Amino acid sequence: MRGLIAMFVASDGSGDFKTIQQAIDAIPDDNSQPVVIYIKKGIYREKVFIDKPRIRLIGEDPRHTVITYDDYAKKLLPNGEPMNTLNTYSCYIGGHDFVAENITFANTAGSGHIVGQAIAAYVDADRAVFKNCWFLGCQDTLFTGPVPRDPLPVNIRLTHPVLGYGKKITGPVRQYYESCYIEGDVDYIFGSATAVFNRCTLATKDRKKPVNGYITAASTSAQTPFGYVFLNCTLKGSAGPNSVYLGRPWRNHAKVAFLRCWMGEQIIVEGWHNWNKPDAEHTVCFAEYQNEGPGANSENRAKWAKILTDEEAKAYTIENIFSGWRPDRE
């Protein structure tokens, strides 16, 4: 790659930097060249903040190249206020044209009913690509920005800028996840981005409850034609049979589609939940097409969900969803 800048991070001191944040901080704010940061195997316990463009993080493999932290929404700050959801990230990514490969992003705070929301990766960047990455957590594992423009719930409010939560993006936000493993329970993929998940594994944890979780909580804007699109993914996990919803609407124009996915028996027969907002049933687009497996029984889905026709499914191609951007060819 022309003009490429390369850096090496190794926790044992054998690289240019011992921490990932040290490498990020060494990049000039006005840098215009692509930067690749090679990360050697190791557990990098640090709260990483990336707000510079054209950065690539390349790990050795996701099993042994791990970015992890354990902040959580109910954690009390020195002033006595709770940390709140969006400040809990282990890794914040706000620079456009970002790429990550062979890395795990983890939040080890624990179960949401004890600690609240705990984000592993907060991705607020346009043209962000993740390949062969793992995202590990419980409640709210992966946040795909931007923050919804309409008023925020109390537990999402951005009140602590010193923690570095990132900007609100006004333009399109497109993200691509390929061959990734994403684990959690309640709303563990949530946010407003247009994001394609291609050949990913979605693993829902067992909370020992009648409803163990919701895979998605989209907040797609009314003006955005696509929200979350899952292509050829595998839905599994330790959650019991008939205990996991495909999604619920964080905002009333949420858009989520599963096409040609394999769904395990953990998926609830109705498939979709309205989050106790009957009005959302008229505005969301929750869709499915040619899914297989014991959890893919579309005949008994919620009446307000959609089964795509062959013609409608043709619109759900990577090129069409991203208006010409082809991250799967990088």
User: How far is the CA of 305 from the CAs of 51, 285, 302, 313, in angstroms?
Assistant: 37, 7, 5, 15
Name the residue type at position 137.
Answer: G
Residues 298 and 258: beta-carbon distance below 8 Å: no
164 torsion bin: left (phi>0), alpha (psi -120 to 50), beta (else): left
Q: Which of 71, 126, 140, 185 is catalytic?
A: 140
Pure H helices in the chain: 20-25, 112-115, 310-313, 318-321
User: How far is the CA of 77 from the CAs of 111, 140, 206, in angstroms?
Assistant: 20, 20, 30
Burial of 100 (0-12, 13-18, 19+ CB in 10 A): buried
Count how many Cα atoms sit within 13 Å of the Cα of residue 26 in the half-sphere of its side chain: 16
Q: Which of 126, 187, 279, 328 is catalytic?
A: 187
User: How far is the CA of 247 from the CAs of 131, 264, 302, 310, in angstroms?
Assistant: 23, 15, 12, 23
- The answer to whether residue 140 is catalytic is yes
- The answer to whether residue 12 is catalytic is no
Say how far apart CA 126 and CA 170 lie, in whole Å: 11
Nearest CA to 296 among 210, 230, 238? 230
So which residues are the catalytic ones?
140, 187
